[in-house]
Structure 1
Amino acid sequence: MTPFGQRLRELREDRGISLTSLAHALHVSPAYLSALEHGKRGRPSAGLIHQVNEHFGLIWDDGEELVRLARLSHPRVVVDTAGLSPQATELANRLARRIRDLPEARVAELLALLETDSE
């Protein structure tokens, strides 16, 4: 599941809306919406994000948060380390190999570390 897919499912379930009903309202197939929620499809289009924001009445920070989550929701990431240090290339390769085996607590630690370093 992607961050966008998780948030979309939360919005839908919090409001008691079925996947089929939401798909119909957004003019997409239920299969596509399910694939988005489960991380089987890439990032949604800007138009679809806008439709979701409108459908759920998301404005300001909530709407921007959905856009941010969509940007972070590509399920097949490619990391270009050309021109970076050997250590950066090693990190990218080791993370790619091991990410499926990392416990959620460790993933949360790594995300927190990246958030701290980006400030």
Structure 2
Amino acid sequence: MTPFGRKLREMREARGTSLSEMAEALGVSAAYLSALEHGRRPRPTPARLDQICAYFGVIWDEAEALKDLARLSNPRVTIDTAGLSPEATALANRLAQRIRHLDREEIAALLRKLEG
């Protein structure tokens, strides 16, 4: 599940809306929404994000926060280290090799370090 998928599910459940109801309102399939929530689909297009924001009545700062979350929710990340130091390339490769073995606390600590 991606951060955006988790937030989308939280918003949908808080509203008491089923996947089918939301899918019908957005003109997409319930399978698409389920895959989006579970991170099996790429992040939504800007137009689809606007549609989701409108569906939930999300505006201004909250809409920007949701869009930022979507930008951070690509389930298949590629890191281009061309032109960077060998250490940057090593870091990217080490993270790709080890990310599945990190626990929640280790991931949280890395995120805090990168965001701080």
Question: Which range, TM-score by smaller chain?
Answer: over 0.9
After superposition, give the CA deviation of every residue in 1:60-79 in whole Å (9 maximum; x if it has no partner).
11100111011111100001
Q: Which residue of 2 aligns with 1:81?
A: 81
TM-score (normalizing by structure 2): 0.97
Q: What's the offset of the Cα at 1:82?
A: 0.9
Q: Which residue of 2 aligns with 1:32?
A: 32
Q: Distance in 1 between matches of 2:83 and 2:47?
A: 35
Q: Which residue of 1 aligns with 2:62?
A: 62
Q: Distance in 1 between matches of 2:6 and 2:21?
A: 18
Structure 2 counterpart of 1:81, which letter?
T
Calculate the aligned-residue CA RMSD, in Å: 0.7
- Structure 1: 5+ residue runs without aligned partners? none
Q: Report the 3-state secondary structure (helix = DSSP H, G, I; strand = E; otherwise coil) of the residue aligned with 1:58.
A: coil
Structure 2 residue 2 is matched with structure 1 residue 2: yes
Report % sequence identity. 61
After superposition, give the CA deviation of every residue in 1:30-58 in whole Å (9 maximum; x if it has no partner).
11100000000111011111011111111
Q: Report the 3-state secondary structure (helix = DSSP H, G, I; strand = E; otherwise coil) of the residue aligned with 2:41.
A: coil
Structure 2 residue 52 is matched with structure 1 residue 52: yes
Q: What's the offset of the Cα at 1:85?
A: 0.8
Q: Which residue of 1 aligns with 2:72?
A: 72
- Give the length in aligned residue pairs: 116
- Structure 2: 5+ residue runs without aligned partners? none
Q: Which residue of 2 aligns with 1:100?
A: 100
Aligned structure 1 segments of 4 or more residues deviating by more than 6 angstroms: none
